[in-house]
Homo-oligomer: A and B are copies of this chain.
Amino acid sequence: MADSPRVLVLNGPNLNMLGKREPEVYGHTTLADVDARCASVGESLGLAVTCRQSNHEGELVGWIQEAREQQDGLVINAGAYTHTSLALHDALRASDLPVVEVHLSNIHRREDFRRHSYVALAAVGMICGLGPLGYELALQALAERFRSAAAGTP
């Protein structure tokens, strides 16, 4: 892991609608705002951050497969696929990367079918309900993890 650790920030279906879709649930920040904020926070944390969004399960699976060789960590808000995509789960497990799962809303307080997360079964941890700030905290968590690993601290 030479130079800056690389982190892929992945957003799933309908997150491109952020700021337009049900703002009373998801707020007014757009995905572009989130991406910009991730880049800037990443920079301040010494991370090389890349952001991507797709509505296609297969495309997300492909990006995670590539990340295996090209990235050092993953922040993922898989949207609805969180709850239905075993394929994403398998890709995350196969990636051997530390994954931090993010959700804008607190999925534990919504419909029953949003309580189970396939992503969580392949992730180090989850941050939910804290809005766009969740992405920043996830980047901090990865940065901290890279720092400990570099320092040989378990």
- Please name all residues of chain B whose beta carbon is closer than 8 Å to the beta carbon of A27 when the two chains form the complex: 154
Alpha-carbon gap, A97 to B43, bound state (A): 34
A58 and B59 contact, Cβ closer than 8 Å, known pairs A94-B22, A109-B120: yes
Interface size on A, residues (CB 8 A): 57
Q: Return chain B residues, CB-CB under 8 Å to A21.
A: 90, 93-94
Q: Evaluate whether A124 and B130 lie within 8 angstroms (CB atoms) in the complex, with A13-B87, A86-B80 already known.
A: yes
Q: Write out the residue numbers on chain B whose beta carbons fall within 8 Å of the beta carbon of A31.
A: none
Query: Judging by beta carbons under 8 Å apart, are B141 and A93 in contact?
Result: no
The reply to whether B14 and A87 contact each other, CB–CB distance below 8 Å, is yes
A146 in contact (CB, < 8 A): no
Report the copy number of this chain in the oligomer. Answer: 12
Among B20, B87, B125, contact of A84 (Cβ-Cβ < 8 Å): B87
Tell me the minimal C-beta distance from A40 to chain B in angstroms: 15
Whole-angstrom CA separation of A144 from B29 in the bound complex: 15
Flag whether A71 is at the interface (Cβ < 8 A). Answer: no
Q: What separation, in Å, do the CA atoms of A118 and B7 have in the docked complex? A: 33
Verify if A37 is at the interface (C-beta below 8 Å from B). Answer: no
Is the CB of A133 closer than 8 A to any CB of chain B? yes
Is A32's CB within 8 Å of the partner chain B?
no
Q: How far is the CA of A120 from the CA of B115 in the complex (A)?
A: 11
- Chain B residue nearest to A126 (CB atoms) is B128
Bound-state CA distance A127–B141 (Å) is 11
- A129 CB–B CB distance under 8 Å: yes
CB of A17 closer than 8 Å to a CB of B: yes
